[in-house]
Amino acid sequence: MSISLQKGQKVSLSKERAGLKSVIVGLGWDEAKRPSGGLFSKKPKPIDCDASALLLKNGKLMKSEDLIYYANLRHITGTVMHMGDNLTGAGDGDDEQIVIDLEKLPAEYDRVVIVVNIYQAVPRNQHFGMIQNAFIRVVDGSNNSEILKYNLTEDYSGMTAMVFGEIYRHNGEWKFNAIGQGTTDPGIPELIKRYQ
């Protein structure tokens, strides 16, 4: 049975699923309805959200290869893979997925932070207040059953990026932390500076 989390809540993945070897982190969102600008106005560009995984050593992003995103889909170790970029967020279910092999992830990586930013948010004048139904969920990679889900329900108007959650090692266990922290970072380069 899936656990529904609130902001700031932590759960032990290892206790929920004994012998857990790999997880699929699914992220989803929908674009909120925007008012029509009238007959002659330009149609607004779709909001393109991009999910990324930051592999941290002692809480720090040590090198650019440890950033897994649409331009670097597979970590050099093969233990973290981004399954591809969704440009619109249209449709049901996960919009983007990141697969993490917990069993083989090298021990020097103590946490994997999952972030989402809006592509070209500043020039397009877009923000997370224009997004609805955002969520992150963690699925058991061996049988595709959902372990937990965190629905982001706050109003994130003005925020252009979001730290959704993190999977981390603590005392030999894998845990998940539902973060839900919005930021005004205009893109990935600025967002990752928080972890350098």
Gap between the Cα atoms of 68 and 66, Å rounded: 6
Whole-angstrom distance, CA of residue 9 vs CA of residue 173: 16
Which tokens belong to 112?
């994997």
Q: What is the mean pLDDT of the chain?
A: 91
Average pLDDT for 157-180: 96
Alpha helices (H) in 55-187, listed in sequence order: 121-124
Q: How high is the pLDDT of residue 37?
A: 58
Shortest CA distance to 119 belongs to which of 153, 81, 71? Answer: 71
Domain 3-34+43-195, CATH: 2.60.60.30
User: What percent of the chain is predicted at pLDDT more than 90?
Assistant: 80
Query: For the chain, which residues make up each domain, given as ranges?
Result: 3-34+43-195
Buried (b) or exposed (e) across 22-59, using 16+ Cβ within 10 A?
Answer: bbbbbbbbbbeeeeeeeeeeeeeeebbbbbbbbbbeee
Given a cut of 80, whether residue 89 has pLDDT beyond it is no
Query: What pLDDT shows up at residue 116?
Result: 94
* Confidence label for 41 from pLDDT (cuts 50, 70 and 90): low
In sequence order, the 6+-apart residues with CB closer than 8 A to the CB of 190 are: 161
What pLDDT digit, counting tens, does each position of 102-141 carry?
999 999 999 999 999 999 999 999 999 999 999 999 999 9
Beta bridge partners of 31: 131
Cα-Cα-Cα-Cα torsion 84, 86, 87, 90, nearest 10 degrees, comes to: 170
Q: What is the pLDDT of residues 168-178, one digit of tens each?
A: 999 999 999 99
